[in-house]
Structure 1
Amino acid sequence: MHSVVLQTTIDGLVDAFAGYLTNAIGFLVGFVATYLVGRFVLVPLVRRVLDRRGFDRTVLSLVDSVMGALVVVFALSIGFMSAGFPRFLTAAATLGGALALAVGFAAQDLVGNFVAGVFIIKDKPFEVGDWIEWNGNAGRVEDIDLRVSRVRTFDNERVTVPNGDLANNAITNPVAYDTLRQKFVFGIGYDDDIDHATDCILEEAEGIDGILDDPAPSVRVTELGDSAVGLQSRFWIDEPDRSDFVRVRSAYVQAVKERFDEEGIDMPYVHRQLTGEVEVLESVADDGDASAAAEN
């Protein structure tokens, strides 16, 4: 009797051990096979596709990290399924979905800036070293990260801008092309000769180092102000860096101003004169004193 019970117990232990061993082998085979396929086939394939489409190295590195994590998660899932634990997989998937939903709601701005950073790196509306303008701000891009971009203003201040602000708003990139056109309005008096003033403006543009001859500078009458006729000069500069733009513009405006002074061309400015009579206020004050005396 005891031998029969002992034999039954041993057989049960052996069956249980065999079942656990089968489950462990199934998990190991499923995990290893899935991981190897994903790590050495799927990840390189995705990387080659993105590389051929010209994605930045930062994006490729990010894709490698994300794909590596996904491969591990997927390999664990296949391993548990191969081991015969579908309930565990279902519970893990439910828990993971709930956590992902909670994290998504809590980090909407963070995720949005992250995605915007990926598109900025891919689409390249600007690059490191470019001078950009956005929402009334301006500066030179020092660094482009996946969440933020760092811009140094021309007052030597660092501005850390969330990538979402740059991706969702209009950005002006004055140095995106090889040349840049600039405009400046010179005001002359109504009694001055417009043609003569135009010739002076064009001649001074020809003598400024940095203003291109092709396209040639031009002048147009653009406004008739309260006290001046506006002549808008349009000129092009090569390799439009911020420092070059400021230097060329300053030298050009100074040269035109000095030429106008030599030629006797007036550059009027708006002035206003306030007039009034103090006697009115004094009269009111005297009337008040007289009324007070009469009451007394």
Structure 2
Amino acid sequence: MTTNQPISALTIPEQIFLWLRLNMFNIAGAIAVLVIGLFLAGVISRWVRRAMTASPRFDPTVAEFLSSVVKYALWIVVLVTVLSQFGVQTTSILAALSGMALAIGLALQGTLSNVASGVMILIQKPFKVGEAINAGSISGTVQEIGLFTTELKQFDGLFVMVPNSELWNQAIVNLHRHPIRRFELIVGIGYDDSMAQAKKELLALAEGDERVLTDPAPQVFVSSLDDSSVGIGLRVWCATGDYLAVNWDLTEAAKARFDEVGISIPFPQREVTQKAA
């Protein structure tokens, strides 16, 4: 077979052989770029995953997700480079890929928003699995954090799955992040009762409870002068895990102690004066 005869006169196998002979260097270069590029993409993505996993700031889910993004982005770069070896105009390909990415982004706007919010939650860590949170109308204990949704167990035992974008756009109150919490109790006493004695009794209750911390020390104070009562306040600090038990026990103990020493807890009253016609 000679190359002097017209290509149209050659058989298909001869045309293929001729094309391979004329483009052997481009083919070899493309294969080399493909092999080396895919190898480097795998190495770099694994390095990104290991580096992020080694840092306590990044969740393993985020490390896996971002390493996959890096790998696929490098694959696209390798593919475009290989095509350019054969004289393909990569500008049009890049423009088409950009258009596809924009269309997919618009179609999956809500989903991508959840993914972005999930990544931010996993990186910033406003809450972790096992912690209880309040976020707007959502309350519960975190069961699982995913890229799209977060699963919680409500305090009444019900299961709730929340899109990550809804959580990320709310002010998140983490009920378990800090080791200690402050509890405040306000008890109303009658105007005829002794404020000093009421404060003394509440302080004695706090000091007698082993769960109440001594640093910060308990505080008692007059919180308000209401229509039918004087508000006596008690502030104590306790371990976060003891908060509910301390809340319930001190509230019950305050009522029992005031009944025991004769301090009244009045209910709202209103005096009505009727004038004779």
If the length of structure 1 is used for normalisation, what is the TM-score?
0.81
Give 1:37 deviation, angstroms: 2.3
Task: Encode CA deviations 1:154-208: one digit per residue, 9 max, x unaligned.
Answer: 1001121222222222111122111111111111111111010000011112223
In structure 2, relative to structure 1, the CA distance for the partners of 1:76 and 1:5 (3 Å cut) is closer
| Distance in 2, Cα, partners of 1:274 & 1:156 | 48
Gaps of 5+ in 1: 276-296
| Distance in 2, Cα, partners of 1:5 & 1:178 | 87
In structure 2, relative to structure 1, the CA distance for the partners of 1:196 and 1:29 (3 Å cut) is same
- Give the counterpart letter for 1:255 in structure 2: A
SS in 1 for 2:260: helix
| Distance in 2, Cα, partners of 1:76 & 1:36 | 13
User: In structure 2, what is the equivalent of residue 194 of structure 1?
Assistant: 195
User: In structure 2, what is the equivalent of residue 237 of structure 1?
Assistant: 238
Say yes or no: does 1:266 pair with 2:252.
no
CA contact (8 A) 1:32 1:75 kept: no
| Distance in 2, Cα, partners of 1:173 & 1:192 | 39
Say yes or no: does 1:253 pair with 2:255.
no
User: In structure 2, what is the equivalent of residue 43 of structure 1?
Assistant: 45
In structure 2, relative to structure 1, the CA distance for the partners of 1:271 and 1:137 (3 Å cut) is farther
| Distance in 1, Cα, partners of 2:5 & 2:62 | 65
SS in 2 for 1:172: strand
The total of aligned residue pairs comes to 267
Matches within 5 A, 1:91-240: 91-238=92-239, 240=240
SS in 2 for 1:258: helix
SS in 1 for 2:79: helix
Give 1:98 deviation, angstroms: 1.4
In structure 2, relative to structure 1, the CA distance for the partners of 1:180 and 1:28 (3 Å cut) is same
User: In structure 2, what is the equivalent of residue 57 of structure 1?
Assistant: 60
- Give the counterpart letter for 2:195 in structure 1: I
Q: CA RMSD in A?
A: 2.7
Of stretches 124-133 and 49-58 in structure 1, the one that deviates more from structure 2 is 49-58
If the length of structure 2 is used for normalisation, what is the TM-score?
0.86
| Distance in 2, Cα, partners of 1:145 & 1:27 | 39
In structure 2, relative to structure 1, the CA distance for the partners of 1:6 and 1:133 (3 Å cut) is closer
Task: Encode CA deviations 1:208-239: one digit per residue, 9 max, x unaligned.
Answer: 3422222221112111111111112111111x
Alignment counterpart, residue 34 of structure 2, candidates 28, 31, 52: 31
Identity of aligned residues (%): 32
User: In structure 2, what is the equivalent of residue 294 of structure 1?
Assistant: none
| Distance in 1, Cα, partners of 2:212 & 2:235 | 10
Task: Encode CA deviations 1:95-147: one digit per residue, 9 max, x unaligned.
Answer: 22111111111222211121111111111111111111121432111111111
CA contact (8 A) 1:219 1:232 kept: yes
